[in-house]
Amino acid sequence: MRILITGGAGFVGSHIADRLVADGHDVLLLDALLPQAHGDGPPPWTGDHELVVGDVRDADLLARLLPGIDAVCHQAAMVGHGVDPSDAPDYAAHNDLGTAVLLAGMHAAGVARLVLAGSMVVYGEGRYDCPEHGRVAPGARSVADLDAGRYEPACPACGRDLVPGLVGEDAPLDPRSTYAATKAAQEFLASAWARQTGGTVWSLRYHNVYGPRMPRDTPYAGVASIFRSALERGEAPRVLEDGRQRRDFVHVTDVAAANALALAVPPPAPGLTALNVCSGEPHTIGDLAGELAAVTGGPQPVVVGGARPGDVRHVVADPARARELIGFRAATSFADGVRAFATDPLRAPSRT
């Protein structure tokens, strides 16, 4: 197949490109090379691929690129927690307007297959159970509780601490940050496009992706990159809350494998089908910081308390649906992935 990869020069997109070419596909990369994630010029790992530098919001450009494309792998997005609500227009413009323009272009060109880079952030908090009231949806954590070091969500009915579990794809969407809201909107836009056109969409809800080529030294970087940058400066990683927040850290090569499988297997029904892309091996934020410090021989993490607005406590994924529908199983263990990540090449953002 000939596959257009938007964001194809980026962290995840470039690994998908490498994997698809290894599988015998023909890829075309489109990337705006945003300075939040890239330095000056295309990164060296794009050298073996056809790259067009341009914006996914450029309808005229898409009209030239999409004819002859069999499927689109849509990775282009502003990612990360960001700085503050002043980022909202940029997030909406890149993530949602960009997706809308792409979908319109696909319709005009007759391209009916989409694999979307979804995100676990659409869930907000993960799954929780109360010993008395069963499965419940916790509300937002209050500033007073966070300031007092009460980090665990409470049952809205009785106030007891909740027990976190595995969140499945049928969980209601509850985005709690600007980035999360734009990722949920991408899914709604893609679902509407599929219903109107008869197209198909896999939304691969990535959990905490890490690995080589991550952007570094930017507020849009992932937590693994932030911790590693601190250690390289000789500083202790600063861990928010109590460090016991649970996440699923999935290696970028496994994410690329999931995309390859999604392109090879049609969804089971028309419309949009969501899949968790995760390792199935939950760890805490403190585990990640401690493991990186141990591997690098750097200072031990410092737990500093507090929390960023919009942060959630626990999001741990159920990997069963991805295993059942596309045969995806993560191959990289947490220990092996973090050990390699300590020296993996990262990408410095533009300083201008």
Name the active-site residue from 91, 151, 179, 206.
Answer: 179
Give the whole-angstrom CA distance, residue 136 versus residue 139.
10
Give the whole-angstrom CA distance, residue 352 versus residue 40.
9
Give the whole-angstrom CA distance, residue 30 versus residue 177.
27
Burial of 303 (0-12, 13-18, 19+ CB in 10 A): middle
Per-position DSSP letters for 265-324, written without gaps between them: S--SSSEEEEEEE--S--EEHHHHHHHHHHHHT-PPPEEEE---TT--S--EE--HHHHH
Is residue 179 among the annotated active site residues? yes
Q: What are 303's strand-pairing partners?
A: 239
Q: Are 160 and 131 in contact (CB under 8 A)?
A: yes
Torsion angle of the four alpha carbons 324, 330, 335, 340, in this order, in degrees rounded to the nearest 10 = -170
Give the whole-angstrom CA distance, residue 280 versus residue 316.
8
Tell me which H or E stretch contains 67: none
Strand order through the sheet with 163-167: 134-136, 127-130, 163-167, 316-317
- For helices 285-296 and 334-341, the axis angle rounded to 10 degrees is 50
Q: And the tokens for 280?
A: 């199935």
Give the whole-angstrom CA distance, residue 28 versus residue 178.
30
Q: Are 91 and 182 in contact (CB under 8 A)?
A: yes
Strand pairing report for 271-277 and 200-206: parallel
Nearest to residue 188, comparing CAs of 272, 131, 121, 110? 272
Which residue type is seen at 352? T
Give the residue numbers marked as catalytic: 179
